[in-house]
Structure 1
Amino acid sequence: MLKYNLVLLFVLVSLFNYNRPIHFSEKEKIEVKDIYEEQRWIDSVYKKMTFEEKVGQLFMVAAYSNKDEAHYRSIDKLVTDYKIGGLIFFQGGPVRQAELTNRYQSKSKVPMLVGIDAEWGLSMRLDSTYKYPWNMTLGAIKDNSLIEKMGEQMAEQSKRLGINFTFSPVVDINTNSNNPIIGNRSFGETREIVADKALAYMNGLQKNGVFATAKHFPGHGDTSSDSHHTLPTVAFSKARIDSVEIYPYRKLIEKGLASVMVAHLNVPSLESQENLPSSLSSKVVTDILKNDLKFNGLIFTDALNMKGASNFKQPGDIDLAAFLAGNDVLLFAEDVPKAVLKFKEAFKKKTLTEKRLAYSVKKILKYKFKAGLKHYKPIALENLYEDLNKSEYDALNEKLFENAITTLQNKDEIIPITSLKTEKIAYVKIGDDSSDVFLNYLNEYAKVDEIKESTIELTLAKLQEYTKVIIGFHKADNIWKKNNPTFEEIRWINSILKQKKTILTFFTRPYSLPPTLDYASLEGLIMAYQNNNFTQKIVPEIIFGSTASKGRIPVSINDNFTVNSGIDTKEMKRLGFDVPENQGIDGSNLSKIDSIVKMAIDQKMTPGAQIVIARRGKVIYQKSFGNHTYTDNIPVQDDDLYDVASLTKILSTLPNLMQVYDKEEITLDEKLGNMLPVFKGSNKEDATLLDMLTHQARFQPWEAFYLKTLDETKHPNAKFYRKTQSKEFPYKVAENLYLRKDFNDTIINTIANSKLLPSKQYKYSDFSFILLKEYLELKTQKKLDVLANNNFYSLMGMNHTTYKPLEKFPLNQIIPTEEDKYYRYQTVQGNVHDMAAAMQGGVSGHAGLFSNALDVAKMMQMYLQNGTYGNNRFFSEKTMNAFNTCYFCDEDNRRGVGFDKPQLGTAGPTCGCLSMTSFGHTGFTGTMAWADPEKEIVYVFLSNRTYPDSNAANRLSRANIRENIQKIIYESIRD
């Protein structure tokens, strides 16, 4: 009305003040001009229409893009012969629908409005398109701005496909938990929840140029039957309906709602004629919706082929009755030719007037103008699929589900699980839908064993050795009406939770929570609402604390949980998982990494690789590439183990040393002679810890210790080796090859007796870390592998990080490193590649560790968090700062204390595109781990570039593969 008042004001002022200047703001001038152009177009189009063409505008006909040519020709005929005003598309695919839309629009005299049911996105009707959460899932979200953003994205996708109206949001208030048709399509059971969420949804759609349609008026939420099959009855009083069911409509209309869809309902308190559907009732459509609520937008009938309406009148008659009741658009008309004849007859009898016809037709034309159809352009088919499936849609979906998932029970704060070292956790799946993603992500945090037994008795027996049990109840989303647990499934759940501390997650609608569940015995209960990759990934984050639970259940469940129930859980500093865009990274740019790794594999720089990238505590990229070797067909998996070579220095030796330093039991000025008595009186006794860790202690870079143990044929000498392990030959160097126990003394003595380099300058050496292993073991009286596991790995969920991996993992999970033809004469797989580390039984301070990329990222994240991870503080921020300092940069030594740092000149270990606050290390087998406090980035690259021949290993390094990937990461940062 404001716009038309402005036009009237403009005309009156022009008539009565023609000799006086008139001043309008630029906004008012544009608005008046737009209104004038809109009205002129509407009037000009309407005047040129015949009666039949005007009537044709009232029909929005069902169209499919998954049918045959006969169907497509039938739509052609309705467009050309009956000049229908719109199409509502149903099942099909986006490209096919776009092609058909272009086809039909090209035949239409006046461009048609296109609508679609897209309550949770285009995927409600179309394959290969995007799917957002159910409304009931959205109802659990406290932050309505996320829902508005979803509406914006939905509008973007709809516009790309030439759609003007999306028949959503559903604003039915689901006060009947047994409602057979609304259920998850509702935002919840209170008018406030529904109104608030629907308003955000509507705002998102309409601010981005697509018209929202609130449905199903006057309210389908408390019905026990489905209007697709019969006429449901709403037995409430008029006052109750006005107060509850109509409340969301009133709120949305006040904020500019474009359209309303009227349901086929029997509402005796609103319409006295028995069994007259609300869609055909002028008391409902005209008196209440138009007059009482003052709604002047478009009014759509619900589909007229639905039995709730079609049982009342025949095609043609029902269309006319719906129009005379006050509806503007007749949706899913079954017989347009017959309906047009009925309209003609009514016009002749003056039952239908020109004024009534003009009112709706001009309103339809008005929305066509607003939709830009005056300047209609065909849909561009190029990149259509990509445009409808952008990575930022995943980013928002991640946030939506993260904010929705609701913790309903959390006795003794069982969620999140804090102490990983003392827990032994089992997983039991209930239900018949997939749970693979859920189990995989649980195992990213801790070792979680799936128990799969045929009976509950066998299951309980297996569970006896576990401290906690995680149960997932998994049912397919598309059977949401029938996904309640069976009696037997409930028996299994109750039996487990009575015996074990249990965290139970329902990956189903809230109404599937059974009243017979033993809630009193249950420690933790999470409602995930849906079963998909998002929820199966996020729930483990909540269980292990990398993400907090935030949702509030939007409906009441039995007598156990009232509407808006929910518990905020704690967030811990553990690596979580997210999509790049949510962490300020352009995910599409990261895809360039894939081609770089593929090129490296194709050019035989490495058979395969693992990469993990994290930002702000969230893994945003985790991929494995290639195969174990060039000749096998065993693909690299995320949980495969690589020999990380020199990364051992910062993953094992250094963090343990930092703990000793943090306790003030050693200083950086400590001398080697005091740390290891064997070095007293040697030329190295005055070497300080700082000099050793910065590689300027004048140590030799390397010593080929193994050469001393070979015979004249260059094979292992029987003097030093045996084929079987024994007390005298305990150190496993390779398969069926064991070194005698006293040779470690030879290694240490060789280092002690080696010459010093001529001057004190940076020269990388393994000797320091070989000796620091000896120091740590002497001081703690524990072997380094035990020390590292007890102090770090078991506490951090680094379950794939270990020395001597063959003692814990199958051979086929460990990547080979070399076909050794100079020392061990066999495939080196599961035994450390580094010869010196192998001669120390696989456990050394400079090499020997095996891990996967995610575990390495956890340690780097701990460093990035200044010594904390999970609920553990491993050392102080002060200690981290002390070790991440370049003390000798002005002397051309870039090294931190144990850590490598970015290059000072042109050559170095990084892309040269990050700050000097960053730190990390590289390894000979083709590994790299780097962390950047400034940009909060962790980057891990693992490979076996040494396979099959370590002499050719430098090809990966010369091609700057690791560095080029790092450069792409930094080029992808957007904030």
Structure 2
Amino acid sequence: MRSLVVILIGLFHLLVRSQSLDISQLNPIAFDSVWVDKKVDSIITNGIKNQAFPGAQVLVAHKGTVVYHEAFGFHTYDSIQPVSLTDIYDLASVTKILGPLPALMKLVDEGKLDLDVPFSTYWKPWRRMKNKRDLTLREILAHQSGLQPYIIFLNEVLKKNGKLKTRFVKPTKRKGFDAEAYPGIYVKNRFNRKMYRMINRSKVSEEKKYVYSGLTFLIFPELITQLTGKSYENYLNDTFYEPIGATTLGFLPKSKNFSNRIVPTELDTLYRHDLTKAWVHDENASLLGGISGNAGLFGTAEDLAKMMQFFVNFGRLNGNQLISEETVRDFITVQYPENENRRGLGFDKPLLNNGERTLAETYPAPEVSPDSFGHSGFTGTFVWADPKNQLVYIFLSNRVYPTREHRNLYTLNIRSAVQQVFYKALDSSQ
């Protein structure tokens, strides 16, 4: 058992051990680790007992130092494979802020994108769409544009009897069907164009209010490729993941030959008819061959922490400003509070007046600063960063196992409750 301890740099993993991040003024951190262990274990164990998830892991970094990283439970409820600190998870919508978003930030920095001109300036099909041609990228990223929340493209691929339409998918790779969505499912090369057309023609609400929409995140990879001259995947790896040292962060982990175990997600009875593992859970991303802007990223807790620490450092890497501080600050700032919209640009933010609410009413923990930001993922993932308090919080689980109907992760408010433990611990240590 650990008692009140001073956690020094050498006692835990450092986010800077690969010399990937520039952290200044690292100070020893002291908190009652026995109390923290007891509280976190109680919350997570209760979640497992109530089938919120079969297993999870929590990583917390303070001032660039990992001060807590623990794994709980198993990959599945059969209790065969315990969760490991090096396991790789399907990040679901966390992809949005760690995939296309840093690329868009970089392109804004370089003057290749302007947040306040019509997005149709860059996505030309929208010039012909009366309901979309004047929407700005700022409105889109803040979910203030009126765009339709979601389109279920799987409906275009499945027949009424549940079988796959062979005009769009084949059981084996062949000419014109190169994108592997899953073993035995190869998608027509041009299916992405069908998706783009449906997005282009989708409805837009005349009322401009906060409505979460992930539609443009399906087309951002194509836009990023057009503006950079590199494939979306290579651009992210070369510009961000490799320099930052996030070696497991990427798409299609099955093709990477990692020694890390990959945590399974859902037992799919509709589309893949299999336990989905090492292949993206999100059906829309799957139909894009697993490489998308709305989902598809996989990674370890440590690599997620490196990326979130990069944002906490306002875009600075090894003394170089990879993304300007001005741009990072703009993206993490609430854009339309007058419309009761808490969102930044791509980033999620705390509920407005979050600190005045009880834990049951808040999102995330009530102690987070208004400057903090992050995102959640449908599979049970959550990342949050707080520049004011110099805290990075990573929560990973596979709450969709064996089915997405398991929602006790939300009803028990587990992620916020665990996050609150560390704010109280650090507050009591100061």
Change (3 A) 1:871 1:715: farther
- In the alignment, what sits opposite 2:33? 587
> Cα–Cα, structure 1 residues 610 and 542, in superposed 2: closer, same or farther, change >3 Å?
closer
User: Among 360, 365, 378, which residue is 1:911 paired with?
Assistant: 365
Counterpart selection for 1:950 from 383, 387, 404: 404
Indicate if the aligned counterparts of 1:589 and 1:968 stay in contact, CA closer than 8 A. Answer: no
Q: CA deviation at 1:761?
A: 0.3
Secondary structure in 1 matching 2:405 = helix
Mapped to 2, the partners of 1:837 and 1:577 lie a distance apart of 39
Partner of 1:783: 231
Specify which of 650, 666, 676 is matched with residue 123 of structure 2.
Answer: 676
Q: Establish whether residue 716 from structure 1 lines up as the match of residue 164 from structure 2.
A: yes
- 1:922 is matched by which residue type in structure 2? S
1:843 aligns with 2:296: no
For 1:638-787, list aligned pairs within 5 A: 638-682=85-129, 683-787=131-235
Q: CA RMSD in A?
A: 2.3
Aligned to 1:966: 419
Matched, 1:934 2:388: yes
Q: Residue 3 of structure 2: which of 390, 396, 407 is its match?
A: 390
Cα gap change, 1:837/1:543 in structure 2, threshold over 3 Å: closer, same or farther?
closer
Q: How far does residue 908 in structure 1 lie from its aligned partner after superposition? A: 5.3
Query: Is this contact kept in 1: 2:265–2:277, CA < 8 A?
Result: yes
3-state DSSP of counterpart to 1:623: strand
Inter-partner Cα distance in structure 2 for 1:659 and 1:640: 30
Q: How does 1:125-140 map to 2 (within 5 A)?
A: none
The residue matched to 1:931 in structure 2 has which SS? strand
Q: 2:22 aligns with which of 573, 585, 603?
A: 573
Classify 1:543/1:597 alpha carbon distance in 2 versus 1 (closer, same or farther; 3 Å).
closer
Aligned AA for 1:663? E
SS in structure 1 at match of 2:128: coil
Is contact 2:73–2:79 with CA below 8 Å preserved after alignment? Answer: no
Shift of 1:928: 0.8
Residue 44 of structure 2 aligns to a residue whose secondary structure is: helix
Residue 920 of structure 1 corresponds to which residue in structure 2?
374
Give the distance between the partners of 1:849 and 1:937, measured in 2 at CA.
23
C-alpha separation between the residues in 1 aligned to 2:247 and 2:52? 29
Measure, in 2, the Cα distance between the counterparts of 1:760 and 1:541. Answer: 40
Question: Helix, strand or coil: the match of 1:754?
Answer: coil
Cα deviation digits, residues 723-778 of structure 1 (max 9, x gap): 22234112222121111111101111111111112410000011122222221122
SS in 1 for 2:395: strand
Q: Could you tell me how far 1:940 is from its partner in structure 2?
A: 0.6
| Residue 898 (str. 1) matches residue 352 (str. 2) | no
Specify which of 777, 795, 799 is matched with residue 243 of structure 2: 795
Tell me: higher relative CO, structure 1 or 2? Use CA pairs within 8 A at least 6 residues apart. Answer: 2
Amino acid at match of 1:842: G
What aligned pairs does 1:506-655 form with structure 2 within 5 A after superposition? Answer: 534=11, 544-545=18-19, 573=22, 582-591=28-37, 592-655=39-102
How high is the TM-score relative to the length of structure 1? 0.42
CA distance in 1, matches of 2:408, 2:104: 34
Deviations for 1:638-685, whole angstroms, at most 9, x for unmatched residues?
A: 111100111101111110111111112222113121111122211212
- State the distance in 1 between where 2:16 and 2:264 align: 36
User: CA separation in 1, counterparts of 2:169 and 2:234?
Assistant: 26
- Secondary structure of 2:95's aligned partner: helix
Structure 1 residues 632 and 740: CA distance shift in structure 2, 3 A: farther
Inter-CA distance 732–544: structure 2 relative to 1 (3 Å threshold): closer
CA contact (8 A) 1:576 1:618 kept: no
SS state of the match for residue 622, structure 1?
Answer: strand
Match for 2:87: what amino acid?
D
Residue 918 to residue 711, structure 1, CA distance change in 2 (3 Å): same
Q: Which amino acid aligns with 1:928?
A: F
Match among 316, 320, 327 for residue 879 of structure 1: 327
Change (3 A) 1:542 1:613: closer
Question: Equivalent residue of 2:341, what SS?
Answer: coil
Tell whether the 8 Å contact from 1:804 to 1:830 is kept in structure 2 after alignment: yes
Answering whether residue 340 of structure 2 is matched by residue 865 of structure 1, we say no
> Which stretches in structure 1 are left out of the alignment for 5+ residues?
1-385, 403-533, 547-571
- Does the CA contact (< 8 Å) of 2:264 and 2:277 recur in 1? yes
Given that 1:698 and 1:758 are in contact with CA atoms closer than 8 Å, whether structure 2 keeps it comes out as yes
Superposed displacement of residue 824, structure 1: 1.6
CA offset digits 1:276-295 (Å, max 9, x no partner):
xxxxxxxxxxxxxxxxxxxx
Contact 1:610–1:852 (Cα < 8 Å) also in 2: no
- Distance between the aligned counterparts of 1:834 and 1:575, measured in 2? 38
TM-score calculated relative to the size of structure 2: 0.92
Seen in structure 2, the aligned counterparts of structure 1 residues 773 and 576 have a Cα distance that, compared at 3 Å, is farther
Equivalence for 2:304: 856
CA distance in 1, matches of 2:200, 2:290: 21
CA shift, 1:585, in A, is 3.6
Q: Distance in 2 between matches of 1:676 and 1:853?
A: 34
Contact (CA 8 Å) 2:22, 2:318: kept in 1 or not?
yes
Q: Conserved in 2, the CA contact under 8 Å of 1:739 and 1:839?
A: yes
Q: Secondary structure at the match of 2:385?
A: strand
Equivalent positions of 1:156-175 (< 5 A) are none
Rounded to whole Å, the distance in 2 between the matches of 1:542 and 1:928 is 22
> How far, CA to CA, are the matches of 1:391 and 1:725 in structure 2?
58
Equivalent residue of 1:690, what SS? helix
Task: Indicate if the aligned counterparts of 2:3 and 2:32 stay in contact, CA closer than 8 A.
Answer: no
Q: Is the 8 A contact 2:331 2:346 kept in 1?
A: yes
Q: Secondary structure at the match of 2:328?
A: helix
Cα deviation, residue 542, structure 1:
8.7
Report the secondary structure of 2:181's partner residue: strand
Residues 81-115 of structure 1: CA deviation (Å, up to 9, x unaligned): xxxxxxxxxxxxxxxxxxxxxxxxxxxxxxxxxxx
Does the CA-based 8 Å contact 2:74-2:82 persist in structure 1?
Answer: yes
1:491-502 paired onto structure 2 within 5 Å: none
Q: Select the structure of larger CA radius of gyration.
A: 1
Q: Is the 8 A contact 1:650 1:921 kept in 2?
A: yes
Give CA deviations for 1:375-421 in whole Å, capped at 9, x if unaligned: xxxxxxxxxxx6xx6342x64xx47xx5xxxxxxxxxxxxxxxxxxx
Alignment of 1:47-66 (within 5 A): none
- C-alpha distance in 1, partners of 2:36/2:385? 17
Query: After alignment, is 677-686 or 794-803 more displaced?
Result: 677-686
Structure 1 residues 706, 615: closer, same or farther in 2, change over 3 A?
same
